[in-house]
Amino acid sequence: MARAIQNPIIGLGQLSDVELGGLRLAVQVLAHKAAIAGFTRVALYFESLESAAMAEQAARAQSASTRSAPLPGTLSIGSGADDRRLVVEYLHLLVDNERLSAQVRSLCRMLASRARLDA
C-alpha cells in the first residue's frame, strides 16, 4: 500500500524570484535524473515540487507581488524505503549545493527531514 509523505504547507514566498527559479531548475534536474534511473515515484515527487515552484512563479507574474503559493501539503512518493531514501539523498544534493541560496537549501533540508520522519 502506497503512503504519502505529509508535508506541512510550505510557503515559497520567502524565496526571491531568483531563488524560486533556482529551486525550480534544481528539482527539474532531480526529477529527470530519477526518471532516467527508473525511479518513477521519486521523479513524481520532484515533479510535484517543480509544479509548486512554477505555480508560485505564475501567481507572482499574475499579481505582480510576492504573495506565497503554498507547496502541496502531500507529496506522494510511495511507501518504498528505497524511494524515500533516494528522495532524501537527492534533496541533500541540493542542501549541499553552495550555489543555491541559504533559504533554498534550508527548504530542501526541511523537506528531507520531513521525508525521513514519514518513513
Read off the pTM.
Answer: 0.72
Assess contact for 101 and 19: CB atoms under 8 A.
yes
- For residue 57 the three cell numbers come to 512563479
Is residue 75 classed as helix, strand or coil in its secondary structure? strand
Q: H or E segment at 60?
A: helix 40-63
> What residues contact residue 11 under an 8 Å CB cut-off, 6+ apart?
68, 69, 70, 71
Which tens digits make up the pLDDT trace of 55-105? Answer: 888 888 887 655 555 554 445 555 577 888 898 899 999 999 999 999 999
